[in-house]
Structure formats: C-alpha cells, structure tokens
Amino acid sequence: MHITIVTSKKEYSLSAEKGASLLDLLRSNGIKVNSVCGGKGRCGKCAIRLLSGRLDITTADRAVFSEAELENGCRLACRAALYDDITIELINSGEEILADPDGMPVNNGIYADSDGMPEDNEKTAVPETVFGKAEYGIAIDIGTTTLALALVDINQGRVLCCRTSENPQRVYGTDVISRIDRAAKGSGSELKKLISSKLSTEIAALINDNKPEYGEIKRIAIAGNTAMLHILRGYDTSGLGSHPFTPVNINFEELQLAALLSEEKLPDDLKCVPVTILPGISAFVGADIVSGLFSLGFQKREKPCLFLDLGTNGEMAVGTRDRLLVTSVAAGPAFEGGNIKWGTGSIKGAISKVSIRDGKPGIKTVGGLLPPKGICGTGVIETTAELLGNKIIDETGLLSDLFFDSGYPLSKNASGETIVFTQDDIREVQLAKSAVRAGLEILLERYGAGYDEIDRLYISGGFGHTLDISKAAKIGMIPEELYGKCEAKGNTSLSGLISFLRDPKKGRTAFERIRKISKELYLSSDEKFNRLFLEYMSFE
C-alpha cells in the first residue's frame, strides 16, 4: 500500500504492509509525531487528517473528535490500521516533526535557561591559551523532555557553549512511566537508539560549532533521571516500574564514548574519550538530582535547605551536610507544557509570561518570537496565577461561565488559531501543584523542620524560562512562609556536571557523600500525603 504524507514542508511517499499501524509507520520512517499518552489513544496529540482513501473510525477517534472533525477526516494515528492507499496530512506538524525521513535532524530551537551560563545554543569565543593546549569537557543532562549539553573549558571553568534540544523519546510518551513501560515491553532498543543517535548528533554539532582546535575533549560526564540512564545503557527497566522499584545499576560508571553512543555519527577523535555516568540514589531519585544537590553545595550546608526540581516528576530534598531526606512525587508533565492543550516545550515562541489587565491578556514569549506557538511550563503557571488573581477561575479551579467551554483565549498563532487555556489544563495544574505542595509539607514534617528553620528553597527545572516565584506561590505550589527564601535556578543538573568535569576526584567524593547521607521517603502509599494531596487541589 502507498501512503502519502503531506506536511507544511514537503510530501513523503511511504509503503506499508496491510494492517500496519500508521503511527509505527510514521515513526519507523523518522517522521516523529507527538504522542503524549504513548499511543494509548487518549491524548489526541497524534491527530492526522485523512485527505483521500479509507481509514476506519475507531472508538478512540469518537472519544477525541467531534462529528464534524471526523467528517473532516480527523483520525488518531496511534489507532489507525492501514488497509488502503491513503493520503494524510499531519495536523500537529512543524515543531512536532523532529527529523525528516532523510534522517536530517530539524533544529527545533528548544531553549532553556541555564543558571549563570551563556544563552543556549549561543557560543563565546574559544580561548587560545598561551601556555599550551586548552582542555575541554562535555556535560550532558538527559531530561525526560529536554537534553542539555555544555562544552566546558575544564581548566578555566568557562562554559563555551550550551545546546538544548527535545528528547526524541518524547514520541513514546511525555512522562517517565510511559518510557519505562514502553522500554520494558520491547521498545527498549528503539528508545536507546533514539537517544544514542541524538546525543551523537548533538555532540558532533557542539564540537563543530566551536572547533576546539587548540585543545581536545578530555572527558564527558552524563546525568539524568534513573529511567533515562537505564534506557541509555540498555538496562532492563522493568524493575523501575513496579514495587519494590529496583534499579539495575545506579552507581558511577566509566566507559568510552564509542561504547555508549552511535559510533557512525561520532567524530573519530572522540570515540575513545572517557565518559562518566553519574550515580543516583534510587529508581525515583536519579543522578540529575544528586548533581543538582552537588551544584547547590548541599554536601557542605550547615543550615537545612530545601531543593525542588520540577520536571515530569517533582523531586525534592531537604537537609544539611549531615542528613538529607529525598523524595519524588508524580507531578505530571504540566510544568513542562505536557498534557496542556496548547502546551509545548520551552521553544522559541512559547508563551512564558502572562499578565491579565481589565480582563485582557498580555503575553511574552521565549525569545520574543511572535506570533506565539504554544504555552511552556512557566506560561502555564503564570496563566493559572493570573486567571486566579483576576477571578476568572474560582478557588476550586472552575473557569467562569464565559470561558468554561471555549477556554480562556491568550493569543492567536501563525495560522490564526486561538491559543486557549482550558478547564482541563487548569485541572492538570491543580494535580501537579497539589502533588508538589503535599510532597514539600510531608518532607519537612518527616525531616523534622519547620518553615522558619529552612535557610533557602532552591527551585530548578526545565520550565523554559525564569520562573516568577510569586506566581508559583500564588497558585499554592509553595508555602507563603517560604516565598521570601526561594531562589529559582536553571538546570542544576547541568551545573553539577560542569563542576564535576573540572575536578572529577573532588566531585566523586562529594557525590558519594550526598548518596551516603540521603534517605529516601516513599510517598505513594502515604496516607497523610494522599490526604494533603486532595486538600491542596483547591486554590484556597
């Protein structure tokens, strides 16, 4: 059968076996369609439009599309089985297409703040050293949503360039659980291939863009959550998905780059570069958190501090150099723009700042690019806070009658469609913020510290843009008592990796210290956590 795919950029012609899944066909040909629910027919993100031929309407199609949309050819690619020659259009094209079938990665322009570092994908001049060759290191943070790389002069501690891009595994679901599940059910090697190939491309681009011709890459360090590192290493993820949540390996690992990534895409002189994979604490609290704690100096803190990393999970820690209590809550991907109707990663053009005056919205986007493309995590928090402050939603999270069905309009995109914030989006924010807030409260209680004893609260994460802490407090994610002690940080995992590259010996000692003094708190079956979670759903 012949399948023709029309996108805004070009037309592709593919052949398929009878009965094949449309989503699998698109993926196996490098056309990456968003699939937030991991192909379960629930999120609607894999929508396509049938232009000619036959695609049966499934029950999942009926649950997602209106009669008019079905009539218009809308179908879910993940539910579509191919029995006819068809021509389709990708509805979520553009940034959803991460690579074209020729294997050429499309620069999707994802940007994220990195505390104290140059703007992402922006470079500073490569230093010529007078005394000899400069030496470089590469820091790699593998987030569930975003990959971040930094090229570092390891002697001077200068960051020469940062690159960020979307994790290509996102097409297998936006949250960690979907990835663990897919990897455990047979897609592990496909997921590993995706990340391995993407990292090889990103490393090659980092080198090419900066040509460290006066020196060499001495070492590479990698951090990420436990699931991302398991997939990268090709480990069995089934132990991460169910009780007693046993990882295969969360210790330091040392290997050569060619043993880890797609060899064919790596520059020859990099193949033997030593790589250190940093250690984690558990299935839920990974190397990215240890790296974040290290970068914030928790191993030296005398007064108790709090650390909150907001990603697709909310990981948090409290303590000093003598004792740390760490935990993780399933916050859902709302703070990274996931499960939000117009949600997007922190790409240029994503709405990141929102203010509502006299009922009218004002917006700012990442990179100042207009018209906007969607709403990133920071924009999600800002929109909720502004709607609340203007009484457009009530304390239970209910949108006013005027916007209940249509959603609150923020702006129009390039195609003239209205970017709205919907009632379902608000529910996602409520779930995420109550999980984080309940987690913080229980963590503090079990650690045995009151708000007044906490010296600082550091918040890191891939919101895409500087988080306005007052807005996070306004929606009740952070207790008011801690508001004045909050500091928004960027990607602390990357900062920790950079410090590690400068002095791996010292870094090792600090990492081991953090792991040794850390105790994990499990919250999923904690009665009080579950009660508080329900309590904090409201905005009161």
CB of 236 to ligand FES, least distance (A): 25
Strands (E), 103-262: 134-142, 146-153, 158-166, 215-224, 253-256
Q: Among residues 39 and 377, whose Cβ is nearest to ligand FES?
A: 39
Q: Among residues 76 and 436, whose Cβ is nearest to ligand FES?
A: 76
Spatial CA neighbour of 273 closest among 283, 285, 259: 259
Residue 100 and residue 29 in contact, taking contact as beta carbons nearer than 8 Å: no
CB of 26 to ligand FES, least distance (A): 11
Count other C-beta atoms under 10 Å from residue 466's C-beta: 14
CB of 77 to ligand FES, least distance (A): 6
Q: What share of the chain is helix, strand, coil (3-state, %, to 5)?
A: 35, 25, 40
Residue 96 and residue 13 in contact, taking contact as beta carbons nearer than 8 Å: no
Q: Among residues 48 and 147, whose Cβ is nearest to ligand FES?
A: 48
CB of 471 to ligand FES, least distance (A): 29
CB of 481 to ligand FES, least distance (A): 40
Q: Among residues 22 and 392, whose Cβ is nearest to ligand FES?
A: 22
390 is written with which tokens? 């203007």
> 61 to each of 17, 56, 82, how far by Cα in Å?
22, 9, 15
Residues 6+ apart with CB under 8 A from 137: 151, 152, 154, 217, 218, 219, 220, 221, 498, 501, 502
CB of 39 to ligand FES, least distance (A): 5
**DSSP 8-state secondary structure symbol assigned to residue 99:** B
CB of 270 to ligand FES, least distance (A): 36
Chain centroid to Cα 147, Å, comes to 8
CB of 20 to ligand FES, least distance (A): 15
Q: Among residues 50 and 206, whose Cβ is nearest to ligand FES?
A: 50
Q: Among residues 42 and 49, whose Cβ is nearest to ligand FES?
A: 42
Interface residue list for ligand FES (CB under 6 A): 35-37, 39, 41-46, 76, 78
How far is the C-alpha of 322 from the C-alpha of 299, rounded, in Å? 8
Q: Among residues 46 and 82, whose Cβ is nearest to ligand FES?
A: 46
Q: Among residues 66 and 246, whose Cβ is nearest to ligand FES?
A: 66
- DSSP assignment of 56-68, as one string? PPPHHHHHHS-HH
Contacts within 8 Å (CB) and 24+ apart, 267-273: 267/204, 267/207, 269/216, 269/217, 270/203, 270/207, 270/217, 273/217, 273/218, 273/219, 273/220
Indicate the pairing of strand 146-153 with strand 158-166.
Answer: antiparallel
CB of 99 to ligand FES, least distance (A): 18
Residue 106 and residue 205 in contact, taking contact as beta carbons nearer than 8 Å: no
Q: Among residues 25 and 317, whose Cβ is nearest to ligand FES?
A: 25
Indicate the pairing of strand 215-224 with strand 374-375.
Answer: unpaired
